[in-house]
A and B are shown apart, each in its own frame.
Chain A
Amino acid sequence: MDKKKLVKQLAVILFVVIFFAGLDLGIYHLFIKRVISHHSPGMQKMSVEVSNYVPFTDSKNIFSAKDAPKLEGDIPTIDGAAALLPMYAGFVESIYPSGSVKTAADGYAPESAMHYTNTRGAYKDIVDGKADIIICAQPSEEQLKYAKDNGVELEMVQIASDAFVFIVNDSNPVSDLTVDQIRGIYSGRIKNWKEVGGKNIPIAAMHRNKGSGSQTALEKVMGNEPIKPDYTTLFGSPIGISFRYYVTGMLGEGGVKILKINGVEPTAKTIADGSYPVAGGVYAIYRKGEKNPNVYKTVDFMLSPEGQEIVEKSGYIPVKSA
């Protein structure tokens, strides 16, 4: 009798141990395994090192115009999207006084004339008056509404172009999708890679938080079709979204493949001539009626031959011949 009871007790304890072991193994495979190699030396090389793009540090990653006249007086605070950091770091290094950029242990100091936030933060800051110029892709509906609700009108001047790209792991045999297939994947109509010429494996359609530059670009591609929630992306082989330069320039394209869209590869030529179907503008954005003349001088510099050369050398597509 006691032996039977002991077996039962041990079975219960064993069950609890196996239950937690299974749960932990599941968490490891679903979450940690996919991100753990981020911390390997190889993956760290691929990470965006913001410290490589700090102006006035003799960084080889920043292209600037050495002989451009420096701004004097009230220096506008500049901020922008992560994917566009190399470009506006080049503008700042060209025309901002070196003492205007101040770093702190965790990034830029509050009094610095340059900040590095992200698209969401930058749009909020320009409306709230914490930034004077931001370098971003087009705003989302919510960002435009936030500006309107706060009585701020935004001026947008296109200074460059870049392509919105779809990426897969480089082991994925699919290399080309149509815009309609993209809409099918992100709306949930197309669920398996075999439906678009790939392996018989579910599609994990990854996207970003609302208000980010690439998510806003995805919403524009989708038109009226709703985007299926991101929490369904734990299984299968992934597809993700980004901007071309972020993948090719800042991350070295290691381990991922950029897909052709409608048979067109996103290159400088296809973006410039409009044949790549999901290219997008890069804008210098400031508040309408801005009183600081240096805001206009800075935007004029971005569109000058020197500024457009920085755009091109930084890896983006100029809007004017440099």
Chain B
Amino acid sequence: MKDRTFLIILALVTLAGIAVTTALAIHGYRLWQSISIVEMIANWR
């Protein structure tokens, strides 16, 4: 694999990873904020 190709693939994989992680973290934070302690404890075995 050429260096340029490798760097492009690496950049794309990294960007995709950051995007998915950020979206997941925001989604999780919003869910976390939207429920009460009571509901969270009911879910949390």
Contact = CB atoms under 8 A, between A and B. Distances in A.
A31 interface: yes
B41 A35 contact: no
Contact of B45 (A30, A43, A48, A169): A169
Contact of A31 (B18, B20, B31): B31
Interface in A19-36: 19-20, 23-24, 27-28, 30-36
A204 B41 CA distance: 10
A293 B32 CA distance: 43
B10 to A, nearest CB: 6
Contacts of B6: 9, 12-13
A263 B44 CA distance: 25
B20 to A, nearest CB: 6
Interface residues of A, number: 47
12 contacts: A30-B28, A31-B32, A32-B31, A38-B43, A169-B45, A206-B37, A237-B44, A238-B41, A240-B40, A247-B38, A255-B42, A255-B43
Interface of B: 1, 6, 9-10, 13-14, 16-18, 20-21, 24-25, 27-29, 31-32, 34-45
Interface of A: 5-6, 9, 12-13, 16-17, 19-20, 23-24, 27-28, 30-38, 43, 46-48, 167-171, 204, 206-208, 237-242, 246-247, 251, 254-256
